[in-house]
């Protein structure tokens, strides 16, 4: 079997909000990449054995004392290096150039004039020798290191990009990894293929083949337990493990009563009946709702749901004999964020639960087959494994489920109302084509009553809020500008079909300052 990670790109993170996007773009080009903090040791860099190195952007200024620097070995290995924004600036400073604060700070769209077409900029110029890019910088390179030549400029930035092709060193002041840069994908592909000489072995079929071989070697004849939620990650893990080890896999699906309409039955049909996977369904609705009674604080609700999940899952696990491994749907961003938080570089906005944290008597060995994959890669894997696209490409659903989409206390009555309202919302979004135009959409139950008119009478009933957002990275988002006719149709259906709802409102808050979820 081909070693599909032999060609590998190392990304050193200087704190940019776009760093993970760089790694994803490299992988989209068919090349394996990993991301590490800029202060990785020289030994680790050498052991990684990269075909090329990318230095990310970052929020710092190279003029600030103690600001991050690239390990000197980066420029001594003889492999190609691409510096992006801050990465370009620190490379320039470290190699003898000069960086200064720009008189004009560039943030947003810009047109670069391409003055010299090197291997990096090959094919990205339009008929006017220009290209649209996304700038986000205050400082700029004022003098290039010896051996570098300028390859593009803007009116306020003489060195929008530069290179020393003899040493295979390249720098860009803009961000090729973001979608706003018109030919950014092509630029990154130029770097990894034309400059670093990497192939295109990193793809879904090869990943599945590699991962199945690894799982068989790790697991052998032993049994594996998986907590199946019906979400993308655990679903893909289930399909992957089933293909690798068949009946050695047992899944436990905890039905907490806080799922979407008919979701429990759909999970059982998809994985149990259609795919032949052994799935144990633990019906724990009453237990969860009982534990949540009287609780209104969002964080308290999350912790209760997480605790109850662990307890129910543990009880089901103890009924099984001979299980050695516990499978989890950990993905690469989880790993990156966990590492960052240990270094004090991340803040916990909300708590999440995972199957990790089981009682000591359940001492399983972990199997994490998605640990080195990004979400978009996981989705592609799921489709390649035969999971229907409509399940794989569903909008995100929080771990605590409807527990955090019911404001205040959680009750079965509220959950049942919300399930139907949310389903009507999704039906109409799909029918209108807007489901795929939005990144996330859902209904929220408001624990307040509003007066309504029904026929000749009046009634006091609940309020439902609708939320739909457009975003690429979920770090920032704007509310979706749904057509008024569509909002009207959704609102009318909800109020006509759910007698306990008398008013529907549409959330027009963007992130920031609001979050995407209400709780």
Instruction: Given the residues 106, 177, 377, 428, select the one marked as catalytic.
Output: 177
User: What is the bridge-based pairing of β-strands 365-367 and 8-13?
Assistant: unpaired
233 known ligand binder: yes
Instruction: Given the residues 93, 137, 175, 198, select the one marked as catalytic.
Output: 175
Residue 449 tokens read as 């009553």
229 known ligand binder: yes
Of all helices (H) and strands (E), which one includes residue 336? helix 332-342
Of all helices (H) and strands (E), which one includes residue 250? strand 249-255
230 known ligand binder: yes
Residue 95 tokens read as 């190699």
Decide: 355 and 307 in contact? Cβ < 8 Å: no
Q: Where are the beta strands (DSSP E) in 256-313?
A: 278-283
Beta bridge partners of 174: 135
Q: What is the largest CA-CA distance in the chain?
A: 84
Is 100 part of the annotated catalytic residue set? no
Is 175 part of the annotated catalytic residue set? yes
234 known ligand binder: yes
Is 209 part of the annotated catalytic residue set? no
Q: Where are the beta strands (DSSP E) in 270-333?
A: 278-283, 323-327
Cα distance between residue 137 and residue 101, in whole Å: 9
Decide: 376 and 204 in contact? Cβ < 8 Å: no
Residue 87 tokens read as 């990465």
Decide: 88 and 56 in contact? Cβ < 8 Å: no
235 known ligand binder: yes
Using DSSP, state whether 241 is helix, strand or coil.
Answer: helix
Instruction: Given the residues 85, 157, 196, 198, select the one marked as catalytic.
Output: 85
Q: For residue 408, what are the contacts with CB-CB under 8 A and spacing of at least 6?
A: 296, 447
Would you list which residues are annotated within the binding site for ATP?
A: 229-235
Q: Which residues are known to be catalytic?
A: 85, 175, 177
Would you list which residues are annotated within the binding site?
A: 229-235
């Amino acid at each position: 079997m081909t070693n599909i990670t032999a060609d590998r790109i190392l990304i050193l993170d200087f704190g940019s909000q776009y760093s993970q996007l760089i790694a994803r773009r490299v992988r989209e080009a068919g090349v394996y990449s990993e991301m590490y903090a800029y202060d990785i040791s020289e030994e680790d860099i050498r052991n990684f054995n990269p075909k090329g190195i990318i230095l990310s952007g970052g929020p710092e200024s190279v003029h600030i004392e103690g600001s991050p620097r690239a390990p000197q070995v980066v420029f001594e290995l003889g492999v190609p290096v691409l510096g992006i924004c801050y990465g370009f600036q620190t490379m320039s400073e470290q190699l003898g150039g000069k960086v200064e604060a720009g008189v004009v700070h560039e943030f947003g769209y810009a047109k670069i004039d391409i003055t010299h077409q090197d291997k990096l900029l090959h094919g990205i110029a339009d008929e006017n020798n220009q290209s649209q890019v996304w700038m986000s910088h205050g400082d700029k390179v004022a003098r290039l290191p010896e051996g570098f030549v300028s390859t593009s400029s803007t009116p306020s930035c003489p060195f929008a990009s530069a290179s020393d092709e003899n040493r295979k060193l390249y720098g860009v002041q803009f961000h090729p990894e973001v979608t706003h840069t018109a030919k950014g994908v092509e630029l990154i592909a130029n770097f990894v293929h034309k400059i670093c000489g990497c192939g295109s072995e990193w793809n879904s079929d090869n990943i599945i083949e590699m991962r199945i071989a690894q799982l068989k070697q790790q697991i052998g004849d032993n049994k594996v337990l998986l907590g199946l939620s019906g979400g993308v990650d655990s679903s893909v893990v289930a399909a992957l493990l089933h293909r690798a080890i068949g009946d050695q896999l047992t899944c436990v699906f905890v039905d907490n009563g806080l799922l979407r309409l008919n979701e429990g039955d759909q999970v059982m049909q998809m994985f149990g009946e259609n795919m032949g996977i052994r799935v144990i369904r633990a019906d724990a609705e009453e237990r969860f709702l009982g534990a949540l009674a009287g609780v209104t604080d969002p964080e308290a609700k999350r912790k209760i749901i997480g605790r109850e999940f662990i307890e129910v899952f543990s009880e089901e696990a103890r009924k099984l004999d001979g299980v050695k491994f516990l499978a989890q749907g950990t993905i690469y961003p989880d790993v990156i964020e966990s590492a960052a938080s240990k270094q004090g570089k991340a803040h916990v906005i909300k708590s999440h639960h995972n199957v990790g944290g089981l009682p000591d008597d359940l001492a399983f060995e972990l199997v994490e087959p998605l640990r080195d994959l990004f979400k978009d890669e996981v989705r592609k894997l799921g489709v390649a494994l035969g999971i229907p696209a409509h399940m794989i490409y569903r909008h995100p659903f929080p771990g605590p489920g409807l527990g955090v989409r019911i404001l205040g206390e959680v009750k079965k009555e509220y959950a049942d109302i919300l399930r139907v309202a949310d389903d009507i919302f999704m039906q109409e979004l799909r029918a209108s084509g807007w489901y795929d135009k939005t990144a996330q959409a859902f209904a929220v139950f408001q624990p307040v009553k509003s007066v309504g008119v029904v026929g000749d009478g009046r009634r006091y009933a609940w309020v439902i809020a609708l939320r739909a957002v457009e975003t690429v990275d979920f770090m920032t988002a704007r509310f979706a500008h749904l057509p008024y006719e569509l909002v009207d149709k959704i609102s009318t259906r909800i109020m006509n079909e759910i007698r306990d709802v008398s008013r529907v409102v549409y959330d027009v808050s963007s992130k920031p300052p609001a979050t995407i979820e209400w709780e």
